[in-house]
Structure 1
Amino acid sequence: MAETEIVVDPEPSREEETTNGNEEHTTDVQKPSDGSDSESESDSDSDSDDETQAKAQTEALELELYNNPSNYDAYVKYIKILRKQGDIDKLRQAREAMSVLYPLSPDMWREWAKDETTMCSGADAFPAVEKLYEQGLSDYLSVPLWCDYLNFVQEYDPLVRECSAVGISKARNLFERAITAAGLHVAEGGRIWELYREFEQAILLTIEETDSEARERQIQRIRNLCHRQLSVPLVDLTSTLLTYKAWEADQGVTVDVTSSKCDGLPSHFVSAYQKALEMLNDRAPFEEKISKKDVDDSKKLQEFMTYLKFEQSSGDPARVNILYERAITEFPISSDLWLDYTRYLDKTFKTSRIVRDVYYRATRNCPWIADLWVCYLLCLERCHASEEELSSVFEKSLQCTFSSFDEYLNVFLTRVDELRRRISASTQVEDGMEYAVIRDLFQRASDYLSPHLKNTDSFLRMHSYWARLESKLGKDLIAARGVWESLLKISGSMLEAWQGYIAMEIELGHINEARSLYKRSYSKRFPGTGSEEICHSWVRFEREYGSLEDFDFAVQKVTPRLQELQLFKLQQESKSVGAATDERENLVRKNVREKRKPVSSSKDEQPPAKRRKDLDQKNNKAYGNDKGQGRHLAEAGEVAQVHDSKADSSGTKETKNHSPRKPVIYNDQCTAFISNISLQATDKDLLSFFSDVGGVVDIRILTDKVTKKPRGLAYVDFSDDAHLAAAVEKNRQSLLGKRLSIARSDPRQGRGKKNWTDNQRSNAGEIDSEVSVETSKGRRGPQPQSAGHGRGDDVQLKGRNTFAVPRNVRALGFPSRNKTQSEEAKEVGDENPKSNDEFRKMFLKG
């Protein structure tokens, strides 16, 4: 039988230590000619340095594990250093602590078992090492670990070593377990079969030659074992056949030991071997891909998944299970792989012990996956696990860190579901189980999750479930109402919370309680259209369940509330429309500014005095322009001067070179003129009035120049003629109790009318020739009538105090376009100023 020996990381040899010491001290120590004293001193210095460094690393790792006991990498490094130092007690404690938290790798289990085998001796040591092997084999599938275990039992178990009947039976049972666990491993399973054959052949050698019957039974056992092995698709299947044929030849069977054919062998064995060979050929490409060493992990995992799909299509669950175990050993923390594995087991084996063990291992490798814990609890319930085991698994799951709080809620509800089903199905209370256990679970979930899941649908569903169980299973209506009341304290702004509470009362037939809930909730503000919805729901409720008085009362309460909500909605829409309009105007102004390019000319480079002179010359030419265009420009400049003079009078001091501000110009190309407006109306009211029409660009409410109060008149600019036409169609409709008069503003209609009466001119001037219009928005500035509201061409204003001059009065010094310069000279002429007496005589003559 094969012997095992401990494999410990070798310490650095003397030669290596000496070399390292020489490298570190070449600058300080000079090597003598003989070299003996220098080498001894260097060795001692190197040992001292290594010990100091190892001690520092050990202390650092101990501190790290003390602060963070779940640091996997720190455990691995700590165990490696302790094993190198030979600190047996600390090494054993570290391994035990790590095995409680995490599954160890197969290599770590092999090292641990071999170290314990070497350190311990006697009959008492065997059970401890055997237990280590069993623990290691429960974590991952490992053919080398199985081989070590089988060799250990054959060597150190006294019963097996003495080949007693009990020992042989124990060894065979262990070999059969190994064959079941790893015998179908295509790449490495043949090693276990070979050990099994060698064991049975060793038993054959212990049988006396005289006991032919026993020898024949043992030979037949070995032959059957060989047939079983050769019917499984394993690597080196052909070489195994040759070995078997050589053994048959030793037993006196005539076979060709040099040929790989099955001549001379039983027909049933030949057919099984041929089938295994075909299966091996089908799997060879997959085995080659997953066995490559220089392949990326993600690609290798994908190759495993492809291989698994192939095995699943073949329909052999045992082979699929083995391949999943191989993949898990390669990728132990792949949550997707574990989920896929457990789903397959749930579908295939359902209540088998294998499924429970796999879920246990899955939650140890990937404890952060809540779905694994949920499925684990369901698996335990299917297997009729004890309440103690279920409670233990549930509490462990709550100690893990999940990615979202909804996952914690899912674990809580899974546990509640299991308890509900158990209590509902049992005719009597089992193991002291009462509904209070469910109530405590719900309360724990609510306390823990309410800061994170309030106002969410999942939190609402949990309380709805809780209230229903309190009412149906707990038979406690007061407790059910308490659940809803606690939810309203946490998530009272959710309409669904009130609706769920009301629905429970209606379902139980408590109409008055439902009505009181409607009275409490109809005046609350809910997101979206929830406030309107609860009002309409109350009216529907009273129509279906209440009396006429109840219905009238609900309508009386709901109607003003709905009106209030509608008004608030209109205000919000007006704000949004106004914001959109302002944004569009800002965009237009921005585009205009961007399109405006600076023009470089010699005029721009002139000194300010010369530019002022040129501007005066242009204005003088404009005054003599018979077409009127220059006059309009001059008037615009005079209006700007009026505005500037007002600014000066208010205390603003301006320099002589300050150019007049550019006046705001309205062309009234797409404008509605509105009269008979309520004096309380604002631009927001007008915007709301035209909200169904849309396209409002600007609103200008005319105010009195002295009192600054609205005059009931306004101009509303629209973006296009279609919106303007729609606005004019609203003529004679009421706004704030007054019927509006709406007409299209057309300033061209007033041009050419020179014989207006003073009253008409005065009215036209009030409406169309405002020097300064102040809107409700606070927009203040010159509004030159020449640009947009010029009704008569004879209007000529000049100076600061001409705002009250009638339109038929021409300012001094301005020529009339209807008279020649000679007539103007005669009319204005060179007359000398008249005295007071001369003026009296002129009036007496008149």
Structure 2
Amino acid sequence: MEDDQTLTPAVDDSEPPPPAAAEMMSKNDVNEAEAPLSSSASASSSPSSEEEESQQQDEEDLKSLESELSTNPSNYDAHLQYIKVLRKMGEIEKLRKAREAMNAVFPLSPQMWMDWAHDEASLSDSSDDLASVHLLYERAVSEYLSVPLWCSYLNYVQEHDPSVRQCSPDGISKARALFEQALVAAGLHLSQGPSIWDSYRDFELALLLSIPPDDLKAKELQVQRVRTLFKRQLSIPLLNLSSVLQAYKAWEAEQGNLLASDSTDPDGIPSDVAAAYRKAVEMSNARAQHEQLVSSQDISDAEKFQNFMNYIKFEKSVGDPTRVQLLYERAVTELPVSSDIWLDYTRYMNRTLKVGNIVTSVHSRAVKNCPWVGELWVRYLLCLERGRASEDEISAVFEKSLQCTFSTVEEYLDIFLTRVDGLRRRISAGGDTKAALDYSIIRETFQYASDYLSPQLKDTESLLHLHAYWSRLEVTLGKDLVAARGVWESLLKTSGSMLKAWLDYIAMEIELGHINEARAIYRRCYSKRFPGAGSEEICHSWLRFEREFGTLEDFDHAMQKVTPRLEELQLYRLQQESAAVAELTDQREVPIKKTSREKRKANSNIAEEQSQLKRQKQTAQTFKKGEKDAEVQNLAEANEPEDTSTTTGNTDGTHDRLTKSIDTGKRKVFTDQCTAFISNLSLQATTITENLFVDFVKGLAYVDFSDEKHLTAAVAKNRKMLLGKKLSIARSDPKKGKKDVRQGLKQDGNTSDPSGAGGDSASKGSVESTKENEPSQFPRSAARRLGDNIQLRGKNTFAVPRNVRPLGWAADKPKPAEGGDDNPKSNEEFRKMFIKG
């Protein structure tokens, strides 16, 4: 058992759980709760007003409790209060029924059994009443191990049974049998067991004194009985064995066999008795610490549980099953609603004894104390089957288990399957059992399980397993193929989206040799939509089936059906993957907001960038000198509209038109007639370029201007510094001829990134291309144009001019009509082309 196991499982709110162990087993609580039995006839002839008010209150409480118990018979506290009021009022018949009703739902504590027996004993005046009290005590000692309860039982028999009281042979035999029964049940109890031994010995000593002195034979026989009892007790590990040894030595001295001595040493007694005594003392000392821990009263249930588990583990290591079982009984008496103890107890009994009335009793009491644990009911059903119990008894336990509230639906399923397993085994075994059992019971159980569990187990492996088991038994035991197919069809109505349900149905038909029926199922389900790759799997499964079982025509027919379905599924997968990639790319383009913690940890560069952004925004509105640094001012001037001065803004300016275009969300058409290509932008300029330019890709940007004048002014800013990097600014002209491109490559002498982000060499090529305000040639590129095809090479080929075809497009592009244009691509089209490539 693990330390962290829960002692009290949670149960459904619809059925209140049994009470805690302290409530059920406390010997004092019930005494306080139940007043002594009183008779209504003994009431005063002239009751006072206070007594009348008390009686009236009791009657009101009685009606309230009766109403509560009629609607909720599982209310433990209501049962206790109801019995208490009835005892107080002296309602004998109602009290008997109330106790029986409570015991039908819950086990009664030992103290409650003693109160019940005492009440009945006080009213008994005939042999029939005596028998009923005997029966009450027998029921009481069978529910929990309680030494005080056993002592009460023994005292009652000695005091009230006439045959025992008169020392008749039958009475003496009855008493001895009862004492032996008590010793078997509780005689090994280390701390409380001696009280039973002492009572037994006192009974035998009393018989010895009652024998006439002249009956020497009877007297010698009785002396031997007393001596045997002393020896038996001295050989068992119990507390305070030294006092028993002293009593034994004193008694033997009275018989003239030993000298009187108060010594606790086993000197002078027979050697075999002395050896057994020493061993018993040694065993008692080894258990003394465990006994002290489990007997503690001021500890929690969790601590007490662990102490018992440690004690049980110790006894298991010694290897005495009787002492282990005794400890389990003590544990469940102290902690009756601890499912962990009952589970461990039943597991131990199934492993050691397996069958017998004791094992059956343990399982029966386990489900009565913890009815919300499905595993205990499963073990109970198996225990009854091992013990060859009748079908009526097993069926009753099964039906009772389904009335309980379990925490998971799998527990209900386990109980159903256990019931079916038992029926299948007994029907298959044949013999006399087969005549009493019919397969219809299995079918009814399966149908009950399907109706009960299908809503909770829809589309699960558990429900599939249940129906597969059912269909197999319909074929093997029921000999009904139609019913077996009906089982699968009923499952497909509720769980038709499960691929395995169809495959298992097909597998059954193939196993039975029904190839055409299996093919018909494939035709029904190959076009269905299944989760994951199930749709493709069913198609491939059909083709494999036809390879192994079908003719060429069958295979061709399946191929004809499956091929378009697979193509459709493949296209759908590609669309899904493309949408996923597009979504991922869009997420990457959205700036991630910094958390407050990151903002607090921002370094001076971030603060400087935010300051530049603020100054740039102010410059776009007023263009005042001194309100921003020179680098951002140069860029602002390059975007300044024709009529805009250095001190005032103009709403007709390019910047405002671009901003308006972005805000309205309308697509802007780009013609590349007045566009500058900017590269080598600092990565920290992302936020700045969002405000100034429409298109940018991590270090690259296109800028469309309103006229040639502003474009020329912007190109003149080539090699200007921005945030520590030299900008490369050139006219965007993707329609330049092959000659200009090759000439540019010869001048460059290398094949660097077409974006121009390679550093100073890229900037130098851009400056040469802008001398004397001539239209700039295509920016430095690693592209080679062969005819109308452009082959891109190098690592950084993701940011190229808008009308350059993506990597891998080998086909020639149709030439435009004479006098026409190439329809330059917009920035948005370039992005889509980049993603698709």
Instruction: Give 1:740 deviation, angstroms.
Output: 7.0
Instruction: Map 1:737-776 to 2 at 5 A.
Output: 767=824
Q: Please, which moves more after superposition, 514-523 or 154-163?
A: 154-163
| Alpha-carbon contact 2:639-2:654 (below 8 Å) kept | no
Task: Label 1:473 to 1:267 Cα distance change in 2 as closer, same or farther (>3 A).
Answer: same
1:541 aligns with 2:529: no
Q: Deviations over 1:125-164 (max 9, x none)?
A: 1011111101111110000110111111111112111111
Given candidates 123, 127, 152, the residue that maps to 1:148 is 152
1:210 aligns with 2:225: no
Task: Label 1:136 to 1:633 Cα distance change in 2 as closer, same or farther (>3 A).
Answer: same
- Partners of 1:385 and 1:281 lie apart in 2 by 43
- Matched residue, 1:731: 807
1:416 aligns with 2:492: no
- Partners of 1:664 and 1:647 lie apart in 2 by 8
Instruction: Give 1:123 deviation, angstroms.
Output: 2.0
1:457 aligns with 2:444: no
Instruction: Give 1:226 deviation, angstroms.
Output: 0.9
- Partners of 1:113 and 1:650 lie apart in 2 by 90
Q: Deviations over 1:738-759 (max 9, x none)?
A: 7679xxxxxxxxxxxxxxxxx9
Task: Label 1:604 to 1:533 Cα distance change in 2 as closer, same or farther (>3 A).
Answer: closer
- Matched residue, 2:501: 497
Task: Label 1:484 to 1:628 Cα distance change in 2 as closer, same or farther (>3 A).
Answer: closer
- Partners of 1:674 and 1:603 lie apart in 2 by 32
Instruction: Map 1:334-345 to 2 at 5 A.
Output: 334-345=338-349
1:85 aligns with 2:89: yes
| Alpha-carbon contact 1:402-1:408 (below 8 Å) kept | yes
- Matched residue, 2:695: 665
| Alpha-carbon contact 2:79-2:98 (below 8 Å) kept | yes
| Alpha-carbon contact 1:731-1:740 (below 8 Å) kept | no
- Partners of 2:545 and 2:124 lie apart in 1 by 81
- Partners of 2:165 and 2:657 lie apart in 1 by 123
Given candidates 486, 504, 507, the residue that maps to 2:511 is 507
1:639 aligns with 2:654: yes
Instruction: Map 1:579-658 to 2 at 5 A.
Output: 579-588=583-592, 630-634=637-641, 638-640=653-655
Q: Deviations over 1:341-400 (max 9, x none)?
A: 011111111112210010000010011111111111111111111111111111111111
Instruction: Give 1:569 deviation, angstroms.
Output: 1.0
Gaps of 5+ in 1: 1-5, 13-40, 652-659, 677-712, 742-758, 779-846
Instruction: Give 1:59 deviation, angstroms.
Output: 2.9
Q: Which SS does the other structure have where 2:455 is aligned?
A: helix
Residue type of the alignment partner of 2:824? I
| Alpha-carbon contact 2:693-2:701 (below 8 Å) kept | no
| Alpha-carbon contact 2:337-2:370 (below 8 Å) kept | yes
- Matched residue, 1:329: 333
Residue type of the alignment partner of 2:565? R
Residue type of the alignment partner of 2:413? L
- Partners of 1:134 and 1:650 lie apart in 2 by 89
Given candidates 718, 721, 729, the residue that maps to 2:796 is 721
Instruction: Give 1:67 deviation, angstroms.
Output: 1.7
Residue type of the alignment partner of 1:721? N
Q: Deviations over 1:563-597 (max 9, x none)?
A: 11111111111222222222222235879999688
Q: Which SS does the other structure have where 1:430 is aligned?
A: helix
Give aligned pairs, total. 666
- Partners of 1:649 and 1:354 lie apart in 2 by 85
Q: Deviations over 1:95-136 (max 9, x none)?
A: 111011111000100111011111222222101111110111
Task: Label 1:616 to 1:146 Cα distance change in 2 as closer, same or farther (>3 A).
Answer: closer
Gaps of 5+ in 2: 1-29, 38-45, 645-651, 667-689, 703-731, 736-787, 833-837
Instruction: Give 1:416 deviation, angstroms.
Output: 0.6
Instruction: Give 1:255 deviation, angstroms.
Output: 3.0
Residue type of the alignment partner of 2:550? G
| Alpha-carbon contact 2:620-2:636 (below 8 Å) kept | no
TM-score, normalised by the number of residues in structure 2 = 0.72
Instruction: Give 1:56 deviation, angstroms.
Output: 3.5
- Partners of 2:273 and 2:338 lie apart in 1 by 41
1:520 aligns with 2:510: no
| Alpha-carbon contact 2:35-2:84 (below 8 Å) kept | no
Instruction: Give 1:47 deviation, angstroms.
Output: 3.4
Instruction: Give 1:525 deviation, angstroms.
Output: 0.2
Task: Label 1:532 to 1:667 Cα distance change in 2 as closer, same or farther (>3 A).
Answer: closer
- Partners of 1:128 and 1:206 lie apart in 2 by 30
- Matched residue, 2:167: 163
Task: Label 1:152 to 1:496 Cα distance change in 2 as closer, same or farther (>3 A).
Answer: same
Q: Deviations over 1:253-306 (max 9, x none)?
A: 223431111222111111111110110010101111111111121011101100
- Matched residue, 2:254: 250
Instruction: Map 1:246-645 to 2 at 5 A.
Output: 246-427=250-431, 430-588=434-592, 630-634=637-641, 638-640=653-655
- Partners of 1:456 and 1:674 lie apart in 2 by 63
- Matched residue, 1:105: 109
- Partners of 1:360 and 1:246 lie apart in 2 by 46
Instruction: Give 1:429 deviation, angstroms.
Output: 6.0
| Alpha-carbon contact 2:144-2:333 (below 8 Å) kept | yes
Given candidates 69, 72, 87, the residue that maps to 1:68 is 72
Task: Label 1:202 to 1:670 Cα distance change in 2 as closer, same or farther (>3 A).
Answer: same
- Matched residue, 1:229: 233
- Partners of 1:196 and 1:646 lie apart in 2 by 106
Instruction: Give 1:93 deviation, angstroms.
Output: 1.6
Q: Which SS does the other structure have where 1:124 is aligned?
A: helix
- Partners of 1:674 and 1:151 lie apart in 2 by 116
Q: Which SS does the other structure have where 1:351 is aligned?
A: coil
Residue type of the alignment partner of 1:313? S
- Partners of 2:248 and 2:813 lie apart in 1 by 112
Residue type of the alignment partner of 1:630? E
| Alpha-carbon contact 2:79-2:102 (below 8 Å) kept | yes
| Alpha-carbon contact 2:615-2:627 (below 8 Å) kept | no
Instruction: Map 1:757-836 to 2 at 5 A.
Output: 767=824
- Partners of 1:618 and 1:326 lie apart in 2 by 89
- Partners of 2:360 and 2:610 lie apart in 1 by 82
Given candidates 182, 186, 193, the residue that maps to 1:189 is 193
| Alpha-carbon contact 2:459-2:497 (below 8 Å) kept | yes
Q: Which SS does the other structure have where 1:666 is aligned?
A: strand
